[in-house]
Amino acid sequence: LKTGEFLAKRYRIDTPQPATPDAVGETVAKVVAKFEPSKKTPIGITFPGVVQHGVVKFAPNVDQSWIGINIDDVMRDYVGRHVHTLNDADAAGYGEYLYGAAHGGDGVVFLATLGTGIGSAVIVEGEVMPNTELGHLLIDGVDAEEYAAESARERHDLDWEQWAGHLQKYFSEVERLIWPDLIIVGGGVSKAHEEFLPQLTLRSPIVPAELLNDAGIVGAAAAAAHFRERQEDKDKAEAKKAKASAKKRSGKKTAPRDQ
């Protein structure tokens, strides 16, 4: 967590089909067992959808049996330890903030992953603003994913200059809404950033992601650890408050009455 570097090689297992909660839970358990972490080690998980307080609210590209499921509870049952789940783009953004292109930066950081769609993450002073879904802004009356995603460039056979024009409109709208201090572009196409980023004229600095496919992994791991730390601090504070309250009540019961 200090450097964001892997301590072991990746271990990859194919996503089960159908990818139901139980099937995915069994798969995640196999991955965790491979690394044999301490029971005290929290597990970070990314999910391609809206996750609010551990509950899946919206996930158009996965098995719909996930909707309404508390994914943290399901995964906790399978791996036997604390689990923290967050949106996949949020995890990537957090990873880039801590260890990548935004390392050491302040203010508002915006990450857009350009691929089949547009994933988005907003980090404000080090805190992730979850589930922003800014990939669905309307640009000229069209969903931004249909207009500016990398898949749109391929589908409409746009050259780099034409696609840069689409990105210019998209990122200008993002700037109008949230005034980011830094914009990071992720996704596989970010490897070709020299073809399109120099063509953009924006108020904010815009840079390619540095961690690429590792961003979501390290971001999820860090988010799980930090969430666990905050939860432990909260539990300690509540226990201290309860102890003080009990002591105060006990003092009232034993205090002598005035004669």
Reported pTM: 0.87
Whether 61 shows a pLDDT value over 90: the answer reads no
- Per DSSP bridges, beta strands 83-87 and 55-58 are unpaired
Residues of the chain with pLDDT > 70: what percent? 97
pLDDT greater at residue 11 or residue 251: 11
Question: Can you give the length of the chain in residues?
Answer: 259
Measured at the alpha carbon of residue 101, what is the angle toward residues 96 and 105, in degrees to the nearest 5? 90
pLDDT greater at residue 165 or residue 246: 165
For tokens 């194919």, the residue is 14
pLDDT digit string (tens) for 69-96? 999 999 999 999 999 999 999 999 999 9
Whether 182 shows a pLDDT value over 70: the answer reads yes
Domains along the chain? Answer: 105-210 (3.30.420.40)
Estimate the crossing angle of helix 21-35 against helix 71-79, to 10 degrees. Answer: 50
pLDDT greater at residue 244 or residue 110: 110
